[in-house]
Structure 1
Amino acid sequence: MFLPENVIIADDHPLFRQALLETLKSRMPQTQFIEAETVKQLEEVLVEHSQADLLLLDLNIPGAHGFNTLIHVRQHYPHIPVIVVSAYEDRDTISQAIEYGASGFIPKSTDIDSIFNGISRVLMGEVWLPSGFDGKESSPSKSQVAEQIASLTQQQFKILTMFAEGLLNKQIAYQLNVSEATVKAHATAIFRKLHVQNRTQAVLVLNQLEITEDFSHQLNG
């Protein structure tokens, strides 16, 4: 199989991430593994390692809004294959992840050997899906919303997620080290691209790509 030089793991669950790292390091001793626990850290890592060979992405890391992070990464780093590694295992979530550009989907309940096999297949240019998944009965396409989100620049996407967090323009300007006028200019561009009139409507568009499946029963025990 192709041995990657750099693999990014974006996951905020330390026990799962550590177990995954130990397994992959033993089988890919020459590979550098770069970790990110939040969307903000992932953005920084992607800038520094823009030529990474693979991204393992948990859909639920802090700062994520459903499939939006996947869509954003695929738009701005189309050469990096993405495998979604998630606690969600329902057919709709898997189907939509592939629709939005993931090269594979690995449920977190998957055994380590199968996870490694899935990673190997994706690195060879294939698409890997859970055993028994047939792709049928998926939910209606949200491709139009996905296209609108994908049209945002990296800075616009970051500002949109800050809107979702309820930050004021002044707070956003301070965090991004820009002027309030710059934030307002970006906001205007965001509203135009999403075909909305204000930040509340923009956040509603963002939320359309949230994952709604209740998976709390999978986390019991």
Structure 2
Amino acid sequence: MSDPTFLVADDHPLFRAALIQMLRERFALYKIVEAASAQTVGAAMQDHPEIELVLLDLAMPGARGFSSLLHVRGEYPEVPVVVISSNEHPRVIRRAQQFGAAGFIPKSASADDMAAALLAVLDGDNWFPSMAAERSEADAALAAKLAQLTPQQFRVLLCIADGLLNKQIAHELGLAENTVKVHVTAILKKLECYSRTQAAVLVKSLEPESDLG
């Protein structure tokens, strides 16, 4: 049986190293896998089915706001995700919660607080700072719409948001162009969008008003 594993996904090498050191000291039984971009998060999840918890920085290369969180939650709903961010704005915390995170740890938190939060999540609880903003019905509706997408459709949606044409999306994802067309039609229907531009704007709304960290 494989050892239980943490995935630490953060593109800042110094913070990632400090976080990994804390994990090795306090969670010695766990192996640690690293990722530094949205693409490597997906690859790590695929290559390491023994991952039991993801520690996820929101602002990584290839991510659009909460897109990495939504992608991991959509493709691996049984794996809890704890967001670790330098952006402690209450609305960012609340949106992370509404988009499926099991916890939110500010990067300014002490090692003791980080460890306590992770223990709570591993025990099946949630852990969020108490100053989270009020629930947003708009975010709840958006999360419900995005939850209807398959993992492949979510990848196609992110390509649409990047302005790629069907032919380019097919090349990017290794799909037939006709398959992409089918996905685009399904995406627009599920998201209740009339155009690709409208779908791209929806993805844009995943990004917070201020920079994520």
- What's the TM-score once normalised by structure 2's chain length? 0.89
Comparing 10-19 with 93-102, greater Cα deviation is found at: 93-102
1:76 aligns with 2:75: yes
Which residue is equivalent to 2:62? Answer: 63
Deviation at 1:170, TM superposition (A): 2.1
- 1:177 is aligned to 174
User: Which residue, out of 151, 156, 160, partners 2:148?
Assistant: 151
**Which deviates more, 43-52 or 95-104?**
43-52
Give 1:171 shift: 2.1
TM-score, with normalisation over the residues of structure 1? 0.86
The answer to whether the 8 Å contact 1:56/1:83 transfers is yes
Amino acid at match of 1:52: I
Residue from 181, 192, 200 that aligns with 2:197: 200
Structure 1 match to 2:84: 85
Q: Secondary structure at the match of 1:142?
A: helix
- Rounded to whole Å, the distance in 1 between the matches of 2:145 and 2:9 is 24
> Which residue of 2 is the match for residue 164 of structure 1?
161
CA distance in 2, matches of 1:50, 1:188: 32
**2:156–2:169 Cα contact (<8 Å) kept:** yes
Q: Structure 2 unaligned runs (5+)?
A: none
Give secondary structure in 1 for the equivalent of 2:124: coil
Shift of 1:36: 1.5
Aligned residues: 211
**Contact 2:4–2:50 (8 Å) recurs in 1:** no
- Provide the secondary structure at the position in 1 that maps to 2:104: strand
Cα-to-partner distance string for 1:173-214 (whole Å, 9 max, x where unaligned): 112222222211211111111111221111111122221135
Structure 1: gaps of 5 or more residues = none
Q: Deviations over 1:47-87 (max 9, x none)?
A: 22344210111111122222233233223322111111011
Q: Provide the rounded CA distance (Å) in 2 between the counterparts of 1:186 and 1:58.
A: 28
- 1:148 maps to a residue whose letter is K
1:139 is displaced (CA, Å) by 4.7
Relative distance call for 1:183 and 1:214 in structure 2 (3 A) is closer
Whether contact under 8 Å (1:149, 1:206) holds in the other structure is no
Q: What displacement does 1:142 show?
A: 1.3
Q: In angstroms, what is the RMSD of aligned CA positions?
A: 2.0
Asked whether 1:100 is paired with 2:89, we answer no
Q: How far apart in 2 are the matches of 1:166 and 1:82?
A: 29
Q: 1:142 aligns with which of 112, 134, 139?
A: 139
Give distance in 2, aligned partners of 1:173 and 1:99: 31
- Checking the alignment, whether the CA contact within 8 Å between 2:74 and 2:151 is kept in structure 1 is no
Equivalent in the alignment of 1:53: 52
Question: Contact between 2:66 and 2:96, CA under 8 Å: does it hold in 1?
Answer: yes
1:19 Cα shift? 0.8
How has the CA–CA distance of structure 1 residues 214 and 161 changed in structure 2, closer, same or farther, with 3 Å as cutoff? Answer: closer
Please tell me the residue identity of whatever aligns with 2:118.
Answer: I
Q: Which residue of 2 aligns with 1:122?
A: 121
